[in-house]
Chain A
Amino acid sequence: DTGAAFDVLNNDADIVAAYGWRTAYLTFEALRLRDKDHQSWNSLLVHFWRLSTAQSQFLVVRNFYDAVVANPARVAGAVGDVTGEVLRDLFRLYALQTMEQHAADFFTSGAVTTNQISLARTKGISNLLDRVRPHAVSLVDAWNFSDFFLNSSLGRSDGKVYEDMFAKASSNPVNNLTFDPYVDSPVLVKRVAGKL
């Protein structure tokens, strides 16, 4: 019913296969251009960049699939059912969003139809954003970055964004300079001891 080689909206394994199909299509197209049409290496560089990107995206999607989708029991054993399902949503979100951004390649290769791309955009990705959104903060917490490591007012783990922004601004060394704004004065600026 999908009208294409793969059912990327309902089958995670088909998503991986669609990425592999697109890479193979681009490879044989490049081979034809080089070996049969005898196009110069230089003229094919842009095609090669597209081909390499496709191959690497295939590998990323396949590795992500192997890690979080291929063996749900193993993942659930490691992180629990809920987290396992969220990881699978992340897989679908990454794979479908990347597919949508490179829709022309997938469509041209026959891996998917335009209707599938349209559905991925309007329903698949949008629904996945809704599903991932409640877990976004927890999913970044899991990276386990300390505040010392991040050195960020906006990304503080305790959420004290505005307090920290204000404290850092107040204590920044420019506030320890005394300005002489009068244009006739030879003194431009000097440091003074003391704080704002």
Chain B
Amino acid sequence: GPDLLAIERAGSGVEVTRLSELLHTRELINKRSRVEAALIKDPTFDKTELLSMGRVEKIQRSLARGKAMKRLQEKEGWDAEEYKIAHQAAGEPTVYDLHDGMFIVTLREQGTPEQHKLFLEPAVNNKIIGCYAQTELGHGSNVRGLETTATWNQADQTFIIHSPVLTASKWWIGSLGRTANHAAVMAQLYIDGKNYGPHPFLVQIRDLKTHEPLENVFVGDIGPKFGFGSMDNGFLLFNQYKIPHVNMLARFNRVDPATGVYKRVGAPSLVYGTMVWVRSNIVLDSGSSLARGVAIAIRYCAIRRQFQDRDAEAAGATGETPVLNYKMVQVRLLPLLAATYALHFTGRGMMEMYEANQERMKKEDIGDRETVKKIRGAAPEDLNPGAEQLADLHATSCGLKALGSTIAVEGLEMCRRACGGHGYSSYSGIGTWYADYLPTATWEGDNYMLTQQVARYLLKSARAVLAGNAPKNETTTTLQFYLSRK
């Protein structure tokens, strides 16, 4: 093995260090080294036993690893990027992932300054631990179909959170099963019998001292699943559960406590910006996620010798052939190797577009209130004329998230199978990673569902091109070029 890889490396003129720096930057590479060195020193992050653990042991271990990682973050002074690197290097999700990745983000994006003081600060300091409770047992990605209700009660100025039917149970909520003591709950807002659609509410669900569920809250873990064994995914039901007025996250919409009147106060196009950011990250990560499997499979196939090349045998050669020399292996692995680079550069381009758009939105105050009045449930391109670039970005992020994660998911399985029998061993390093990566094809929009968003945007762009009133962007330029040349 060692000699064979050395021969492979010696036979290539690729400048590995410079290429690494092109992909990641020297600064990121150094950060990775520092973070991994800290993890390796801590026995909590030893990976020897992980692959033989059952679900219950995994969850217990995940809690220990999660706590250790948060302590290390403080001790080492890691920034957000270094903390993310630590998560990736640790090899498994921890029970705090949704607290860090969704709960805090939701509070930050959708809370008012007053709510930041009340909820965000303790969340950031891990004084309260939360999750983002949107999905329900009977409703996956369709947020408008949610059944949990939040009814405004003018008499004592509270909201009553209630799960009217079994299918209203929050389900699949990461970090909810056993970890969270708070939840950002999406519920249908009712005022005087009128439905105002789904809105976010901050709800305490467990006692901060005993960690027992509070009265009229029914909460627990949903059980074993494919991959993600180290995460507690939860269910949650409410029985006429009261929360104070201040617990409705009110950056964009609020209820006047004195009059009970519903008001819009912000620009929901910024929420679309968050979704675009999350999906852009998925695109960027899809390249490196696939590269994990490709790196393993290519190194192994360069070492593994099996059978003899038929023509070489006829020419009198002896010895077995490196598996990677077979065209049937090359055609499966080398295009995937190319795809890792393609996705990485695409993800980087996507992030640059996102950042440029955020800058532009800040300058132009996109989502002006005049237009916002009209747009309950509207798509981003309908928000106002200035949001066209966001619409393009939204569609692009939907389509690329779907394509990138599909390529990575299917590619990882291809890599595992290219490793032959040993690909089935957990020690290959691909199977467990594949199982943990697989949900990416479903969360943040199911990959098949998302394609409708892209098609809707393209159809709208095509109509605008035919009508002669299309905004100038890459999509419309491509469509116009086709019309002019076909």
Contact = CB atoms under 8 A, between A and B. Distances in A.
A64 B399 contact: no
A132 B338 contact: yes
Nearest to A57: B403
A148 B22 contact: no
Q: Chain B binding site: helix, strand, loop or mixed by DSSP?
A: helix
Nearest to A78: B22
A55 B462 contact: no
A163 B2 CA distance: 11
Q: Is the interface of A mostly helix, strand, loop or mixed?
A: helix
A30 interface: yes
A25 B482 contact: yes
Given A139-B337, A154-B300, A63 B427 contact: no
Contacts of B9: 137-138, 141
A110 B22 CA distance: 37
A146 B86 CA distance: 13
Interface in B27-68: 29, 32-33, 36, 39-40, 47-49, 52
Interface string A47-64: 111011101111111011
Interface string B293-306: 01111111011100
B91 A159 contact: no
Contacts of A151: 47, 91, 429
A150 interface: yes
A168 B335 CA distance: 31
Contacts of A5: 485
Given A49-B448, A90-B338, A82 B482 contact: no
Interface in A54-83: 55-61, 63-64, 66-68, 78-80, 82-83
Interface centre among A56, A154, A158 (most CB of B within 10 A): A154
A97 B334 CA distance: 10
B5 interface: yes
Contacts of B295: 140-141, 143, 145, 150, 155
B5 to A, nearest CB: 4
B347 to A, nearest CB: 8
A36 B148 CA distance: 41
A153 interface: yes
Interface residues of A, number: 89
A128 B337 CA distance: 12
Interface in B445-459: 448, 450-455, 458-459
Interface stretch (A7-15, A16-24, A112-120): A16-24
B299 A162 contact: no
Contacts of A31: 459, 462-463, 466
Interface string B12-25: 11111011111110
A140 B298 contact: yes
A79 B20 CA distance: 9
Interface in B419-459: 419, 422-423, 425, 427-430, 448, 450-455, 458-459
A64 B345 contact: yes
A125 B331 CA distance: 8
7 contacts: A27-B461, A55-B475, A63-B350, A93-B334, A135-B13, A137-B302, A153-B425
